[in-house]
Structure 1
Amino acid sequence: MNFAHRACFAVGVLALLLAPLPAAADAALVGSTPTDGSAVVDGAPPIVSFEFSEDVFEGAAFLAVIDPEGTEVSTGDVSVDGRTLQRGYAPTGPGTYTASYRIVSTDGHPVEGSITFTSEGLAVEDDPTSSPQEAPAPAGQDGSITATADSDDASLLQSPLTWAAVALVAATTVVWLLVARRRRPEPEVADVDRA
């Protein structure tokens, strides 16, 4: 193979290595209850739920509801059921509430966002005849579950920067091999007379 063929081969390999790889899509929010910007009617169950385009990784789901005063009013644990993430909250009065979520999609990337909704109802009063309220979680245990380092490792493998570095190393190796081979002296062939 002469130099022109090797150069064409190297360019072809380089083009394949640098071709765009199919992107793994992150989970997307497809719906919520209540919907973003909506008003919650009196008597509606105090539950926030998010539905995503793919299953939610249960070990790294977080959902918090913040009242108009900036206080977290989430109750109970985060519940994950396939593509749905939900959690209860205790309304404290009229105003705008914010529900924030953080999940890890199946490709390992964290996805987060929030919605706001308005409650025009009155605060939920403590009823002395009702059952006792759930005790607050110990410090550092707010009912949320945090992501592990494994999800960070998985996202590193999906990073375009990682793939670009691998492609650069491969291309550099191919070019170096071609140049080294071209500079290598050809073995001398002894002239033998056949007589």
Structure 2
Amino acid sequence: MTSSPTPHRRARLPRWTAALAAGLLAAAALLVPALPAAAHDELVSTDPSADAVLDALPAQITFTFSADVLTDAGATVVEVKDASGASLADGAPEVSGTTVTQSLAGAASGAVSVVWRVVSSDGHPISGDFAFTVPAAAPTPSATPTTTTPTASPTPSATSAPSADPTSSATAAPVDEASAPSPLPWILLAVILVIVAGVLVYVFASRSGRKTAGGGTAGR
């Protein structure tokens, strides 16, 4: 009497294989939120620029941003003060696309501080500050009585080289250059996915081999 063939037992995944696959998938899930998010808008330039030395107080300050600035009421604030703390802002700032303009009025000498805040196109508020310098005005000489006296004819004098007029120095505006996102998280995620795929392919290949071997034994 021949015994009935023993039913082929279904191959089970080794515990270490299942644990490894679960760990790799968990690591991939943790990496995804850590991928660099889109950067917020930023200040590109200002006129006058930071640390500039000017001959006089400009009529306005112009800010240029990397994207449109929201025009909601109270969203844009610009404060301009002289060395004594007196406000130099003339009215509210005007917003037009990527440009914000703040008119100035008054006389200033010394350091002029500028503090700004806007709401970028993604709804995130951004702010910053910088300063420029307006030299103190030279005192006006008082008028003094003069007497007319005979003078000798002017003699030729050595000419001196004309002195260069002081000019305002223009320096680049402080721009927070957003560093390029690091590709490391993407590389790690790709490696993890490749490992998980390799483990799954190996497991399914092993199961197929066991089924084939079991089928051949049963046929004998």
Q: TM-score, normalised by structure 1?
A: 0.54
| Cα offset, 1:107, TM superposition | 3.8
Is the contact made by 2:81 and 2:113 (CA closer than 8 Å) also made in structure 1? yes
| Cα offset, 1:5, TM superposition | 4.2
Task: State yes or no: 1:85 paired with 2:103.
Answer: no
Is the contact made by 1:95 and 1:120 (CA closer than 8 Å) also made in structure 2? yes
Alignment of 1:177-192 (within 5 A): none
CA distance in 2, matches of 1:101, 1:53: 15
Task: State yes or no: 1:56 paired with 2:69.
Answer: yes
Gaps of 5+ in 2: 1-11, 138-220
CA distance in 1, matches of 2:36, 2:121: 15
CA distance in 2, matches of 1:73, 1:5: 70
Evaluate the alpha carbon distance shift between residue 37 and residue 64 of structure 1 in structure 2; reply closer, same or farther with a 3 A threshold: same
Structure 2: which amino acid aligns with 1:53? S
Identity percentage over the alignment?
Answer: 31
Structure 1: which amino acid aligns with 2:93? V
| Cα offset, 1:109, TM superposition | 3.2
Task: State yes or no: 1:7 paired with 2:33.
Answer: no
Question: Residue 29 of structure 2 corresponds to which residue in structure 1?
Answer: 17
Evaluate the alpha carbon distance shift between residue 13 and residue 70 of structure 1 in structure 2; reply closer, same or farther with a 3 A threshold: same
| Cα offset, 1:80, TM superposition | 1.2
Name the SS for the 1:37 alignment partner: coil
Gaps of 5+ in 1: 123-195
| Cα offset, 1:13, TM superposition | 2.5
| Cα offset, 1:110, TM superposition | 2.5
Please, which of 52, 64, 67 is the counterpart of residue 38 of structure 1? 52
Alignment of 1:59-74 (within 5 A): 59=72, 60-74=75-89
CA offsets per residue over residues 93-145 of structure 1, 9 Å max, x none?
A: 322111111122334433211111112365xxxxxxxxxxxxxxxxxxxxxxx
May I ask how many residue pairs the two structures share in their alignment?
121
Of residues 11-20 and 78-87 in structure 1, the stretch that sits farther from structure 2 once superposed is 11-20
| Cα offset, 1:82, TM superposition | 1.5
CA distance in 1, matches of 2:128, 2:134: 20
Is the contact made by 1:67 and 1:98 (CA closer than 8 Å) also made in structure 2? yes
Name the SS for the 1:35 alignment partner: coil
Alignment of 1:96-175 (within 5 A): 96-120=111-135
Is the contact made by 1:63 and 1:86 (CA closer than 8 Å) also made in structure 2? no
Evaluate the alpha carbon distance shift between residue 27 and residue 9 of structure 1 in structure 2; reply closer, same or farther with a 3 A threshold: same
| Cα offset, 1:24, TM superposition | 1.9
Is the contact made by 1:74 and 1:88 (CA closer than 8 Å) also made in structure 2? yes
| Cα offset, 1:68, TM superposition | 1.3
Richer in strand (by share)? 1
Which aligned runs of 4 or more in structure 1 are off by greater than 3 angstroms? 1-6, 106-109
Is the contact made by 2:82 and 2:109 (CA closer than 8 Å) also made in structure 1? no
| Cα offset, 1:35, TM superposition | 0.8
Q: Which has the higher contact order (CA 8 A, sep 6+)?
A: 2
